[in-house]
Structures are given as C-alpha cells and as structure tokens.
Amino acid sequence: MTGWSRGVRLGVDVGQVRVGIALSDPDGILATPLVTLARDVRTGPDGVPTDISEVARLVELHEAVAVVVGLPVNLAGGHGPAAVHVQAYAARLAEAVAPVPVEFVDERMSTVVASRRLAERGVRGRRQRAVVDQAAAVEILQSWLDRQRRRTE
C-alpha cells in the first residue's frame, strides 16, 4: 500500500455499559479482539473517567498511531442521541490520547454483525454478551482498515 503509515490502530466500540477494544497488526491487515472495559463515570486522580484512562493506557502500551471509534449512524444516515453520546466520549478520549488522532467510522450494524458471527460459531447467551463488544470493535476497526487499504491501493 502506498501512502500508508505502519502502526497499530485501536478500534473502539462505545456502549452505554461497556467499551469493546480491538487491535490491528502494524501492517493494518487484520483486527483482533483485545478487551472489554466497563464504562465508568467515576474519575481517577487525573479527573478522567477510568475507562477512558484505560483506553489511553492501551494506546500507549501498544504504541498505537490512531484510534478508530465507531459512530452509530442511524439507518437513514443521520446522527441520533447515541451518536451525540459517542462523539462526547470520543472528544474526552481524544484529549486523553493526544497527539494520537481519534477518527470516526460508521458502525451501522456492527453489533448486529458481530452477534451473528458469534452465534454462527456457537457463542450464545452470557458468553456472547461477554465478548460481543470486542467483536463489534473488531468489525469497526476491520471496516476502517479495509477502507484505508482501498484508498491507498
């Protein structure tokens, strides 16, 4: 790929209860699940919510060059309350991970696709709830990686 800078990217699926995190390889070919974090409105000593601090720690630990956040666009292409919520979360995240850029990608149907793929693999019920956020983060990051690859080929 021309015009592509190597480096790990983190994918983030922001939910009301949990935040799913995925990680890419440095060549930007494959997204893999990393961890699911509990959403936490409590702030640490730095005044930042603890889940955002943990994402920032993961960015540093994995030397990520970008963070890709799924933006829940509705089926008509508009931004509803969920998108506003995610944009506010991403703004706080961007402050915590600066100068690493935070980008958005349309996550329409990512959780539905992730749930379906997990069910096809026999992962259901409580086991599925435990990993669906990571799987959605994988869908978000993989779609962004694929789009970037198509742009630079």
Asked whether the bond before 99 is cis by omega within 30 degrees of 0, the reply is yes
Distance (Å, whole) CA 141 – CA 145: 6
Distance of CA 23 to the CA centre of its chain: 9
Other Cβ atoms closer than 10 A to 33: 19
What is the pLDDT, as a whole number, of residue 58? Answer: 98
pLDDT tens-digit readout, 58-113 = 999 999 999 999 998 876 777 778 889 999 999 999 999 999 999 999 876 555 55
Distance (Å, whole) CA 65 – CA 99: 9
Q: What pTM value is reported for the model?
A: 0.84
Taking the domains of the chain in order of start, what are their residue ranges?
9-152
Q: Determine the topology of domain 9-152 in CATH.
A: Nucleotidyltransferase; domain 5 (3.30.420)
What is the pLDDT, as a whole number, of residue 153? Answer: 66
Tokens coding 130:
């435990």
Instruction: Name the pLDDT band for 2 (thresholds 50, 70, 90).
Output: very low
Tokens coding 51:
């889940």
Tokens coding 41:
């409105």
Whether residue 119 contacts residue 132, with contact meaning beta carbons closer than 8 Å, is answered with no
Answer whether residue 51 shows pLDDT above 70.
yes
Across 22-49, average pLDDT:
91
pLDDT tens-digit readout, 111-151 = 555 556 655 666 555 555 657 788 889 999 999 999 888 88
Is 72 in a helix, a strand, or coil? coil
What is the pLDDT, as a whole number, of residue 42? Answer: 79
- Angle at the Cα of 47 from the Cα atoms of 45 and 48, rounded to 5 degrees: 110
What is the pLDDT, as a whole number, of residue 30? Answer: 96
Query: Which of 24-28, 37-41, 82-86, 146-150 has the highest mean predicted lDDT (pLDDT)?
Result: 24-28
What is the pLDDT, as a whole number, of residue 116? Answer: 65
Answer whether residue 26 shows pLDDT above 90.
yes
